[in-house]
Structure 1
Amino acid sequence: MSFSPSYIHFAAPPFPYFLECGHTVYQPGEQHPNRSRMGKFDLILVEQGCLYLGEDHKQWEVPAGHTLLLLPDRYHYSVKPCEETTSFVWIHFHTVAEWLEAEGEPVYAGRDTHFQQFLTYPYTIRVPQFGPLPGPAEPSGQAAQLLQFTRDRRSSAVWQQQRIFEEMLRMMDLAQQDASGSHAAEIAEQTEAYIRNHYTEALTNTVLAEALHFHYNYLTRCMKRVYGLTPMEYLTDYRLEQAKLLLLKTEIPIAAIADRTGFESTAYFSRRFASKVGISPLRYRKRYSR
């Protein structure tokens, strides 16, 4: 079946967490069981042969050296039995952060919810639903390590397996960035980094354009495409994020916090804060004070 490639985008932190893994071998004529809404992600790494799997309206032939990520809220089924001896490693994992399925460029997953709950902006981990194993990552070797730790003491294995699993996700994510060569993503990240390093200053459209050597309209297109925000929207939200931290971690007066985080006045800061968070800065501080 022909369809556009999909990517699964995970907001992190918190990072997806490892649950369990195993190794399965099918002989010719055997097939993967049908499953519906398992409630966990199922990452399959085929070592030998070929699996024929479907998820809702999609179907794949997954040959050796390829991965398939089955989603927790879908119906998974066998398209047909294996035609040759087929072996694969399966990894079950989950996440408490937001995730979504999309095509093409990276997206800024879970922005508003993440801001409210974790006081920080997430990084978007981008994993292809189906594709070749990234060569430099050697995931099959990492998968072997995951399997090895299933035989160790749980107190040791749980930490080691999470570390190895996160490294696998990191290499799959980096491989997508390298393969896409996305100029928009690169420019968006440069803009984001500049804003984070200069948010206390009087940043304007002109300042950003001159500092980054691109027309502001182009910076806006890149930021909207990757993060879903204009540079100025990102700046305001990031200032509010830093203000939240100061309200929680210090006893600095509200006016001083407004000044430290780059807002032009205390009144403007209070309006923007209340609009975003739902209460005033003072009430926010009191909510978490004894």
Structure 2
Amino acid sequence: MSQAAEIVRISAPPAPYFLECGHTVYAAGDQHPNRHNIGVFDLLFVESGILFIGEENREWALGPGQSLLLLPDRYHFAVKPCEDRCSFYWLHFRTVCAWQETSPAVPPTLQTEEHVRKFGALPYSIQLPKMWDLPYPEQTYQLMDKLLGYSAERQSSAYWSSQQTFEELLRMMDLRQLEQYASPVVTLAEQAEAFIKNNYRSELTSESFSEALHFHYNYITRCMKQVYGMTPNEYLLHYRLEQAKLLLLKTEWPISGIAREVGFKNTPYFSNRFTLKNGCSPQQFRKQYSH
């Protein structure tokens, strides 16, 4: 399997959403239309023949089993007409989240706090290959045929089926799901995140991070800062406060009990950090959502 030369990183949630798809057959002499700023991601999967296509100053000759992700704000053009019959699938999708085209060697830089404020959840960076030799082309074609089949169904059922199938396709193409493409920096940052989520009620020290993850704490810190924009301690504080918000909404426990439950030994310190982060005290936060 060839290594992806470039990737497109898309922040989620919310996940990218499916718009439309199709299956096109070009005869010899036919070519892809030239387009500029179409406003949607255009994902191509070549089934047979060769598709000659370009984007800005890049050109590709896509063969069977290869995919290409064209970006919404670029100029797409035909390099030259098809020399023989060419069959390919195409799919349009959008995202409301930030995205960027970059090298796999460059760790994602996610605006974590901004993303949480806007969407209420920690960001995940979907990593889609720009141009790729599909590891399972037949499975990809089957998913595309399923998507095409939903166009004949009622919208009330086709909408959910289409989105589910599209997300299955995205998951299959997400390089973070494939070990051979995993970045060591991202992998360690994710392991540190999981360690925090599983142990946030306990007192976590630099030694406990190093012992659990088998790396020096300074390196763990650099990785988390690159991937999540936060150090392990900043992420720990963020996660504890998010868990406290859930308990304030779902229980009638006293503030001191919630503070202890999420890992704070000192209730005034918990209240102070909560107020700084959310602009209101824990009591005020609970009151604004209670009857």
Q: TM-score, normalised by structure 2?
A: 0.87
Query: Matched residue of 1:150: which SS?
Result: helix
Query: Matched residue of 1:5: which SS?
Result: coil
Query: Matched residue of 1:11: which SS?
Result: strand
Is the Cα contact below 8 Å between 1:43 and 1:92 reproduced in 2? yes
Q: Identify the residue that residue 89 of structure 1 maps to in structure 2.
A: 89
Is the Cα contact below 8 Å between 1:66 and 1:130 reproduced in 2? yes
Instruction: Kindly report structure 1 stretches of 4+ aligned residues shifted beyond 4 Å.
Output: none
Q: Identify the residue that residue 145 of structure 2 maps to in structure 1.
A: 144
Q: Which moved more, 1:138-147 or 1:4-13?
A: 4-13
Q: Would the alpha carbon gap of residues 256 and 275 (structure 1) be closer, same or farther in structure 2, given more than 3 Å must change?
A: same
Q: 1:227 and 1:64 mapped to 2: Cα distance?
A: 37
Q: 1:218 and 1:129 mapped to 2: Cα distance?
A: 30
Q: Which moved more, 1:209-218 or 1:265-274?
A: 265-274
Query: Matched residue of 2:148: which SS?
Result: helix
What CA RMSD, in Å, does the superposition of the two structures yield over aligned residues?
Answer: 2.5
Q: Report how far residue 108 of structure 1 moved.
A: 5.4
Q: Report how far residue 275 of structure 1 moved.
A: 3.5
Q: Identify the residue that residue 158 of structure 2 maps to in structure 1.
A: 157
Q: Report how far residue 27 of structure 1 moved.
A: 2.0
Q: 1:198 and 1:264 mapped to 2: Cα distance?
A: 15
Q: Between the two proteins, what is the percent identity of the paired residues?
A: 52
Q: Report how far residue 137 of structure 1 moved.
A: 7.5
Q: Identify the residue that residue 245 of structure 1 maps to in structure 2.
A: 246
Structure 2, unaligned runs of 5 or more: none
Q: Report how far residue 124 of structure 1 moved.
A: 2.1
Query: Mapping of 1:1-290 within 5 angstroms?
Result: 5-105=5-105, 106-107=107-108, 109-135=110-136, 138-174=139-175, 177-290=178-291
1:45-90: CA deviations, max 9, x gaps? 1111222223334333322211111122223222322222211111
Q: 1:181 and 1:250 mapped to 2: Cα distance?
A: 40
Q: 1:131 and 1:87 mapped to 2: Cα distance?
A: 17
Q: Report how far residue 174 of structure 1 moved.
A: 4.8
Q: Report how far residue 260 of structure 1 moved.
A: 2.0
1:120-156: CA deviations, max 9, x gaps? 2132221112111122882112112211222233332
Q: Would the alpha carbon gap of residues 12 and 84 (structure 1) be closer, same or farther in structure 2, given more than 3 Å must change?
A: same
Q: Report how far residue 265 of structure 1 moved.
A: 2.5
Q: 1:159 and 1:126 mapped to 2: Cα distance?
A: 23
Is the Cα contact below 8 Å between 2:34 and 2:76 reproduced in 1? yes
Q: Report how far residue 181 of structure 1 moved.
A: 4.2
The one-letter amino acid paired with 2:278 is V
Query: Matched residue of 1:61: which SS?
Result: strand
1:177-212: CA deviations, max 9, x gaps? 322243333322221111001111111111111222
Q: Which moved more, 1:147-156 or 1:230-239?
A: 147-156
Query: Matched residue of 1:138: which SS?
Result: helix
Q: Report how far residue 168 of structure 1 moved.
A: 0.9
Is the Cα contact below 8 Å between 2:20 and 2:92 reproduced in 1? yes
Query: Matched residue of 1:256: which SS?
Result: helix
